[in-house]
Amino acid sequence: MDFPKGLKYNSEHIWVKVAGDNALIGVTDYAQDQLGDIIYVDLPEVGYELEQNESFGTIESAKSVSELYAPVSGHVVSVNEVLKDEPELVNEEPYDSGWLLKVKLTNEDELTDLMEQEAYEEHLKNA
């Protein structure tokens, strides 16, 4: 499994890629693997206010429906609309074309609550 360096991870298997005061958010390779074939992703609208650790949508696979939990707080500035027609991109390219949201961070201090790549891998070993 792939867990790129330079990203931040939460314990709910969501990754964050920070660029300035914006962050791209998606599910980890581990999460998509555990879910199986993803058939639907329910995401908030642009303008939605994310609150760290609160649910912001769901991801549905052939196996189950799972809540998505915000790794950081922020305003949704972009949603990956392609996932409406091609939710399988989350399985195929979880760190690239399978991203979920882009947000404008409202509390950059929350990034310190997230794990670096090595800590996330350790977290998975203990799961």
Q: What is the pTM of this model?
A: 0.94
Predicted local distance difference test score (pLDDT) of residue 2: 83
CATH classification of the domain holding 49: 2.40.50.100
**Mean pLDDT, all residues of the chain:** 95
pLDDT tier at 93, thresholds 50, 70, 90: very high
**Phi, psi at 15, each rounded to 5°:** -105, 155
Interval 21-35 mean pLDDT: 96
Backbone angle region of 20, left / alpha / beta, with phi > 0 → left and psi within -120 to 50 → alpha: left
Question: 43 near 80, Cβ under 8 Å?
Answer: yes
- Residue 126 CA to its chain's centroid (Å): 21
- Residue 64 burial (CB count, 10 A): 11
Report yes or no on 45 lying in a domain: yes
What's the order of all strands across the beta sheet hosting 55-61?
38-42, 55-61, 65-69
Q: How many domains does the chain have?
A: 1
pLDDT in tens, 50-92: 999 999 999 999 889 999 999 999 999 999 999 999 999 999 9
Report yes or no on 2 lying in a domain: no
Number of H helices, E strands in the chain: 3, 9
HSE (CB half, 13 Å, CA atoms) of 25?
32
Predicted local distance difference test score (pLDDT) of residue 5: 92
Report yes or no on 68 lying in a domain: yes
Q: How far apart are CA 36 and CA 111, in angstroms?
A: 28
